[in-house]
């Protein structure tokens, strides 16, 4: 078999990237666009999307403000992308929300917002995109994001977040079983400590430094490293990877 480029089979295809205003989502949107995909970049942060648009290469791209708690808004976005391009080939669902709080200070609202953004939105976006792919006989790719903590368990202040991310793994396995017969590959990426804005919000710098020091590679990962993993899973190189949770933690999680 001849060697395949990292983004093999993706040029000209359509991708939805959530969480595209910063961090891993932003890096992924840029990489996808540079590989020749048409990207619908979504995020709640309109200013971040405007900044992304200025850096994106010329192409037929979309930029849409989307609150992942809005299930109807998620469905409307999928319908708009399908109507504009006539196809959806990749969903890279990266957007997430973490609210760090001590276990005994977590409120019902803290719990609900993290489960809504991180888990409920995953279900409805996966289902909506999958239906488009099935109806149009598109052997697409759905890539969800969890966290290495889904297996390790929560660090201080992330109990609700990690519960939601464990749910993402379970949901994705269900979608993989349902969508696999249609040629739609569904996978999950589980990052470790990555140098994104979320990593530093409401987090003690010493905890961040200690986590990086505890990693066998003695550093945090960078968003671009996760973007390349996402591109690989979307590409023809990952043609027999399905229902998997890919650990990208620099050895912070080993199994």
At residue 201, the pLDDT reads 67
> Domain extents for the chain?
14-248
Instruction: Name the strands in the sheet holding 14-17, side by side, starting at the edge strand that comes first in the sequence.
Output: 62-65, 38-43, 14-17, 90-93, 141-145, 185-191, 245-248
pLDDT at 200 over 90: no
Q: Which of 63, 85, 97, 161 is catalytic?
A: 161
| In this structure, CATH architecture of domain 14-248 | 3-Layer(aba) Sandwich (3.40)
pLDDT digits (tens, 9 = 90+) for 90-133: 999 999 999 999 999 999 999 999 999 999 999 999 999 999 99
Q: Does the predicted TM-score (pTM) go above 0.85?
A: yes
State percent of the chain over pLDDT 70: 97
- For residue 153, CA distances in Å to 48, 158, 161, 197 come to 31, 9, 10, 21
Is 161 marked active-site?
yes
pLDDT at 1 over 70: no
Name the strand (E) or helix (H) holding 62: strand 62-65
At residue 156, the pLDDT reads 78
Q: List all residues 6 or more positions away from 129 whose beta carbon is below 8 Å from its beta carbon.
A: 16, 78, 88, 91, 140, 142
Indicate the range of 84-98, 169-183, 186-200 predicted with least confidence: 186-200
At residue 4, the pLDDT reads 85
Q: What is the mean pLDDT of residues 155-168?
A: 93
Decide: 140 and 88 in contact? Cβ < 8 Å.
yes
Q: How many helices (H) and strands (E) does the chain have?
A: 10, 7
pLDDT digits (tens, 9 = 90+) for 2-36: 678 999 999 999 999 999 999 999 999 999 999 99
């Amino acid at each position: 078999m001849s060697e395949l480029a990292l983004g093999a089979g993706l040029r000209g295809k359509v991708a939805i990237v959530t969480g595209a205003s910063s961090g891993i989502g932003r890096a992924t949107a840029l990489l996808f666009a540079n590989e020749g995909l048409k990207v619908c970049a979504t995020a709640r942060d309109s200013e971040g999307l405007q900044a992304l648009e200025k850096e994106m290469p010329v192409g037929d791209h979309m930029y849409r403000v989307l609150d992942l708690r809005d299930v109807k808004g998620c469905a409307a976005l999928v319908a708009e992308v399908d109507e504009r391009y006539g196809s959806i080939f990749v969903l890279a669902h990266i957007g997430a929300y973490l609210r760090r709080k001590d276990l005994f200070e977590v409120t019902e609202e803290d719990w609900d917002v993290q489960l809504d953004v991180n888990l409920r939105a995953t279900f409805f976006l996966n289902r909506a995109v999958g239906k488009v792919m099935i109806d149009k006989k598109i052997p697409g790719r759905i890539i969800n994001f969890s966290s290495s903590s889904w297996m390790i368990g929560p660090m201080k202040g992330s109990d609700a977040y990690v519960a939601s991310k464990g749910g993402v793994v379970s949901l994705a396995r269900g979608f993989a079983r349902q969508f696999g017969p249609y040629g739609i590959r569904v996978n999950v990426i589980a990052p470790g400590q990555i140098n994104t804005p979320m990593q530093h919000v409401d987090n003690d710098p010493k905890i961040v430094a200690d986590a990086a020091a505890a990693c066998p590679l003695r550093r945090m990962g960078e968003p671009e490293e996760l973007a390349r993993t996402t591109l690989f899973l979307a590409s023809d190189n990952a043609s027999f990877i399905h229902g998997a949770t890919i650990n990208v933690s620099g050895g912070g999680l080993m199994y």
